[in-house]
Structure formats: structure tokens, C-alpha cells
Amino acid sequence: MTSKPKVAFFDFAGCEGDQLEIINLEERLLDLVEVVEVVSFREAMSEHSDDYEIAFVEGSITTPHDVERLEEVRSNADTVIAIGSCAAFGGINSIRNEQDFQTVTERAYGEDAAMFDDPDAELFDSFEQAQPAKAFVEVEYEVPGCPIDGEEFIQTVTAILQGGDPSLANHPVCVDCKLAENTCAFDRGEICLGPITRGGGCDATCVSQGTRCWGCRGLVDNPAEDAYSEVLQEYGVTTDELLNEFTLYWSWQREHGPQADMQEVEQ
């Protein structure tokens, strides 16, 4: 009888909401631990081990120390899986990427921001841009979302353990909206990113609940940009309004593309 694969969870710059979604699986999580051995999971246990085959990484990479930790995780793991929007493509943290870094630090630290100009100041060294895990190391799989969908997480892990390929769906959220018979968010007067956001895992939950798609699952591969432009023109959405929507999750992904990997990214 073979031993159970050892898995570990690691958090970087993020809210750790994705790990909470995993804990909230409750009974399903108990089924999962029947087939894997969790050796490190700060949200759920105090024990820690660097002996693991599968590593789940949450949060964006924002400091040189983050890079060192991530590279160590990568060196220990056979498989690395980015969970959540921040780890997969920069996510919410990348809002700052299109802003002046000095302005960002002043907003965050107030009067203390001046210490960033002092080489003797004992402050952490932050990158000017928040970046996903794949900007620095090879990442085998991703489970996007803010937060992730628990069922999609289970399906991904199950496929990996069975030797399968947990490929992400490659259709826009609009497909899920049509299946759910939702009224289009544009018809409700809202700017929706559903036509170019990856569907499949969220089941168009936001639109089904009366709001719009915010783009938390990232850009779908090869989005139908021309068709989306026609929709925007039809509903009178301006370029400035649209760009403002794109900065919520996609500041890194807009620059590097939905399928960017570490070989394509300048560190």
C-alpha cells in the first residue's frame, strides 16, 4: 500500500480567504485528508514540515523575501498549485501596479513613508508591482477566483491524485450566465466583464445574485475582444470606464497576457 502524498499550504501577500474556503469544505475536507497527508497549513494546524510533494500557494509576490520563500517551496515540491486570483495572476494586489509607487507608499504608511528613502531605515523592501507566483517559479496548475470555489478545488486535487489533467474551463462567464438564464448585467445598466472572464468554476454566481462579473477568475484564453467591443459600443460604455474596471484584478495580466509564464516575464 503506497503512502499518501504529502501536501502543504503557503500564504504570501493576500487575505488568506482561499485557505478559509478550503477549511469551510468541512466534511469534503475530511474526505480529502483520507487520501493526502497535510503537513503544513497555518490556518488549520500548528505543525509544519518541509517534506511535501504538493504545495498550494496563495497570495501575490511583493517582496524579495517572498521570492526566497517561494523558490524554497518550489525546490521542495514536485507540484505547485496557485490558488486564488492573487497567486494566479496578481489579483487585487496588482491594483497598485498602475499607480505611482511613491504615492502608494504614502497612502499606506503616511508620514512613515519617508523612511523608504532612508537606506538605514529598517523597513521591508517591497517591489513596485505585485506579481503572481508564476512570474518567479514554474507553476503546474491554477485554481483562480476571489475566493476560489471549493468544488473546483476538490476537482483539481482529485484529478491530480488520479494522474489526470485538471485543465481550467476556457469559456467566458457569459456561457454560465446563459445556462443560469440570467438577465444580462449590461441590460441592468452595469459594466460586466463576463464576456472576457474565464467561466466554469464560479457558475456566474455574482450575476446570478443580481450584481455583475468583476473578473476575479482572470481573462479567458483568447478572449473575443472584437465582440466585446461591439457590446461596449452598444451600451455606450466609454474607454475610461472600461479601463477602470480592468484595474480591479487584471493590472498584471493585462500587461503579460492570460497565458504568461515565468519565461515570458521580466522580473
Residue 121 covered by a domain: no
Residues in the chain: 267
Element (H, E) at 156: helix 150-161
Looking at the structure of the chain, the number of domains it has is 2
Residue 62 covered by a domain: yes
Cell of 23: 477549511
203 residue type, one letter: D
Tell which of 167, 196, 226 closes a domain. 167
3-state secondary structure of 19: helix
3-state secondary structure of 147: coil
- Residue 55 and residue 38 in one domain: yes
Can you give the residue range of the structural domain that contains 179? 173-256
CATH number of residue 74's parent domain: 3.40.50.700
- Residue 236 and residue 193 in one domain: yes
Distance CA 12, CA 71 (A): 12
pTM of the model: 0.88
Mean pLDDT by 10 residues, the chain (267 residues): 85 95 88 91 92 97 96 98 97 92 83 68 78 97 95 93 90 95 93 92 94 93 79 81 80 79 45
- Residue 150 and residue 210 in one domain: no
- Residue 52 and residue 150 in one domain: yes
**Looking at residue 228, what is its pLDDT?**
80
Residue 1 covered by a domain: no
